[in-house]
Amino acid sequence: MTTTNNIILNATEVAHKTRRIAYQIFESNSKEEEIIIAGIADNGFLFAKKIAEILSEISDLKVQLCEVKINKKKPLSPITTSIKAEEYKNKSLVLVDDVLNSGTTLIYGIKHFLDVPLKRFKTAVLVNRNHKKYPVKADFKGISLSTSLKEHIVVEFKGKDAVAFLM
Closest C-alpha among 85, 80, 84, 45 to residue 65: 45
Cα–Cα dist 109/76, whole Å: 10
Looking at the domain that runs over 4-166, which CATH code has it been given?
3.40.50.2020
Average pLDDT over residues 17-38: 97
The pTM score is 0.93
Higher-scoring residue by pLDDT: 148, 37 = 37
**Beta-carbon neighbour count of residue 36 at 10 Å?**
25
The SS3 assignment for 76 reads: coil
Cα–Cα dist 44/54, whole Å: 16
